[in-house]
Amino acid sequence: MNRYIGASVERYDIATKVAGSRKYPQDFNMEGQLYAKVVWSEYAHARILAIDTKAAEQVPGVVAVFTHKDVPVNEYGIYLMDQRVLAQDKVYSVGDPVALVVAENEKVAARAAGLVKVSYEPLPVVTDVRLAMRPDAPLVHEERGTNILHHIPIRAGNIEEGFARADVIVKGSYYTPRVEHAFMQPEAGLGYIDEQGRVTVICAAQWPHDDVRQIAHALALPEEQVHEIVPAIGGAFGGREDISLQILVALAAYKLRRPVKLVYTRAESMRGHGKRHPFYMRYRTGATRDGYLTAVEVECITDAGSAASTSIPVLQNAASFLAGPYYVPHARIDAYTVYTNNILTMAMRGFGATQPPFGYELQMDKLAEALGMDPVEIRMRNLLEDGMRAVTGNIMRHGTGIKKTLEEAALAAGWRRTSAGWQKPDLGAPSAPHKRRGIGIACGYKNVGYSFGFDDKSEAHVELRLDPQGQIARVLIRIGASEVGQGVLTTLTQIAAETLDVPIEKIRLALLDTAVVPNAGSSSASRQTYMSGNAVMRACQKALEAYYEALRAEEGQDVITASYVYRAREMTPTTPYDPVTGQCEPHISYSYSTQAAIVEVDTETGEVEILRMVSSTDLGRVIHPANVFGQVAGGIHMGVGFALTEEFIQQEGQIITQSFTGYQIPTVLDMPRELIHRNVEVADPTGPFGATGLGETPTLPTAPAIIHAIHDAVGVWIDSLPATPEKVYRAMREMGKKNARRRQGG
């Protein structure tokens, strides 16, 4: 009987957050600190002819103006070092910093930044990925000779044979837009030299140890001469996985030997960090008349923007999910990521797994309609199960729980299982004569942990403090897992308390300072519960063994320590894509989700109201039920925005969406009137207490479920997101005109 696993204990960090005493990066100040301000690029693509800093340097209170000449090694990047700390020969997007002004106060820094004069020679701009792929397109990075950053082919079976076997073939083209992370806390950082002479940065980060790698590289310092401290983080969603201002404050502090603080405005935040990748997807899907898939052909093009960031691993993830969680014997998939002069794109909740469900699930809905089959029924006939082969050639294992989530969600939404198959519920009368009700359902699945041969690992140190009687009095855990709101600190204390069989109140976690805590990898890929949970559990097991050995030896020890590095490849090895066929062992583990949406569409305005969302998620084992529900509700909120309201807009590389005034984040009034969630627990034997991960998966099915429900209500397919009222209204009008023409032609 578990004491803490499966219990909604009080969140580890909740008391100080509620009291307002927990510090975020912008709350830190030091005596004698300076203030920095960024000079941003005016152009999406241009050569830099000259940077004149004289007028700015003459402003009283200005201490320094830094340009690329002041950066020891002017490059960085989380995957490829193709970004400049400060623009050098060219600017590649309007998100490029060109200079950094440092002054005695923030107002002076801002005024002086406006006096830095940059002379540019504008260059041709390419912002459409489809045009950027052409041989005659302007090149973003000339040295590469192409704008295509990466291409992944996947070949399974014989595609011609697969389509020859199909009784029905449906085609679709789908677009998902660039999306802003919209975290509450804009980027903020404080750089200084600590008492040991090390460059120190206080900031919000998802992977602080990798930040240190990039900061040290740019400053030409050994990594041990740099460390990063991560206090409370005001949201992340992937947007803090990359470097933003860390190198800038580190550079200024290193050069001036004084503390330097930099805080972005909201407009600077929206300019200064990457977005979710826009996807262009073209599908052709075949099925037999009894609803079994025979073949799928997909072309997917993603917009990397001006730099690589994580676009290649995002594409790797996306390619593996483009066929959906279905058994498809024959597949041909081509996935590309392409440089443009748009703001770079990067990790965002789902990491390449969020966009594909909009394509593969609408294809399933269109097949169901073409075959006259219930949408639950066709999914049940095709969903992957243990022992089945995915399009990447891997055999599904570890308890593939997607069918169970579909069953739970369908039943909770009102579907009935009959001898003739699944049948849709009666939704009742709409609230007004000009409104129509509809229901939609969608599935999704997501990897847990890093994939494709990456050496995913997390290290934990555990220290047991014993009282004079030899009992465990306190437990200190050192681990570099960033708490970005997902509840990882609470989860790790639960795992430690359960493993050690001590009261959870005795567990403490060390401050996340890379100088004193080991690397736990990034708080991304829904991986911290699985990876760091395994590391903490096994470190605690080692500590417990050492503790019992010390008791037997009667040596009077008062401190017991143990460490463990959990390497996923030792339990579940993954492999890279085959460069020709794409066959591989892609992922460590998975989580699965199905959601059903019941909506009401106003035929006079195109407005969509979500009456009910039903969600079912398999995350292996529930560690903290309240946190799980919070993650599901938060994921659905983000999915609602993805479906109906959110789009970060650029035109010819210039930013149109400059604030939250023009970026429509769903409010409580846009959320479903009712949210029903059902947990499914199909344990992964390699996870801590059977757990996998959850943080991203609940966002995946939301948009396709809502779009399917809109079609069920008013008969139109919305193939590009977001489904704004105007877009829905125009689609209804166009459908009405086409129907009128058909009647006249008849």
Domain with CATH 3.30.365.10 in the chain: 279-389+397-451+576-737, 455-571
Predicted confidence (pLDDT) per residue in 79-93, tens digit: 999 999 999 999 999
34-123+182-272 placed in CATH 3.90.1170.50: yes
Predicted confidence (pLDDT) per residue in 107-130, tens digit: 999 999 999 999 999 999 999 999
- Spell out the SS3 assignment of 12-62: CCHHHHHHCCCCCHHHCCCCCCEEEEEEECCCCCEEEEEEECHHHHCCCCE
Predicted confidence (pLDDT) per residue in 621-638, tens digit: 999 999 999 999 999 999
The whole-number pLDDT of residue 399 equals 81
Mean pLDDT confidence for 422-442: 97
**In angstroms, what CA-CA distances link 681 with 66, 404, 405, 591, 689?**
54, 9, 10, 10, 11
Q: How far apart are CA 557 and CA 129, in angstroms?
A: 64
With bands split at pLDDT 50, 70 and 90, how would you rate the model's confidence at 530? very high
The whole-number pLDDT of residue 555 equals 81
352: left (phi over 0), alpha (psi -120 to 50) or beta: left
Contact by Cβ (8 Å): 379, 364: yes
With bands split at pLDDT 50, 70 and 90, how would you rate the model's confidence at 1? low
Residues 6+ apart with CB under 8 A from 72: 218, 219, 220
Mean pLDDT confidence for 67-72: 98
Please count the CA atoms within 13 angstroms of the CA of 59 that sit on its side-chain side. 24
| Domain 279-389+397-451+576-737, architecture per CATH | 2-Layer Sandwich (3.30)
**In angstroms, what CA-CA distances link 684 with 5, 620, 621?**
15, 5, 8
Q: How far apart are CA 290 and CA 78, in angstroms?
A: 47
The whole-number pLDDT of residue 549 equals 94
Residue matched to tokens 């996870």 = 687
Mean pLDDT confidence for 237-242: 97
201: left (phi over 0), alpha (psi -120 to 50) or beta: beta
Contact by Cβ (8 Å): 618, 405: yes
Which sign does the torsion angle of CA 617, 618, 624, 625 carry? Answer: positive
User: Is residue 338 helix, strand or coil?
Assistant: strand
Does 745 have pLDDT greater than 90?
A: no
Q: What is the mean pLDDT of the chain?
A: 97
Q: List the structure tokens of 518.
A: 């080991």
The whole-number pLDDT of residue 704 equals 98
Contact by Cβ (8 Å): 151, 334: yes
Return the number of other C-beta atoms located less than 10 Å from residue 206's C-beta. Answer: 24
Give the DSSP letter of residue 554.
T
Residue matched to tokens 């399009």 = 391
Domain with CATH 3.90.1170.50 in the chain: 34-123+182-272
Choice among 33-37, 435-439, 642-646, 733-737 with the minimum mean pLDDT: 733-737
620: left (phi over 0), alpha (psi -120 to 50) or beta: left
Predicted confidence (pLDDT) per residue in 449-485, tens digit: 999 999 999 999 999 999 999 999 999 999 999 999 9
For the beta sheet containing 457-466, the strands, ordered from the edge strand earlier in sequence to the opposite edge, are 507-509, 472-478, 457-466, 559-567
Q: Greater confidence, 467 or 745? A: 467
User: Is residue 584 helix, strand or coil?
Assistant: coil
Mean pLDDT confidence for 591-605: 98
* Residue among 353, 688, 689, 349 at smallest CA distance from 531: 688
Cis peptide before 357 (omega within 30 of 0): no
Q: How far apart are CA 563 and CA 463, in angstroms?
A: 9
Identity of the amino acid at 392 = T
Its CATH class, for the domain covering 455-571, is alpha beta
pTM to 2 decimal places: 0.97
Length of the chain: 746
Residues 6+ apart with CB under 8 A from 622: 6, 628, 679, 681, 691
The whole-number pLDDT of residue 556 equals 83
Does 746 have pLDDT greater than 60?
A: no
User: Is residue 713 helix, strand or coil?
Assistant: helix
H/E segment holding residue 493: helix 488-500
Q: List the structure tokens of 387.
A: 């022992």
Q: How far apart are CA 528 and CA 519, in angstroms?
A: 12
**In angstroms, what CA-CA distances link 188 with 77, 243, 249, 261?**
19, 12, 10, 8
With bands split at pLDDT 50, 70 and 90, how would you rate the model's confidence at 744? confident
Predicted confidence (pLDDT) per residue in 649-671, tens digit: 999 999 999 999 999 999 999 99
Predicted confidence (pLDDT) per residue in 27-61, tens digit: 999 999 999 999 999 999 999 999 999 999 999 99
Q: How far apart are CA 245 and CA 45, in angstroms?
A: 21
Q: Greater confidence, 741 or 626? A: 626
Mean pLDDT confidence for 526-539: 98
Give the DSSP letter of residue 485.
S
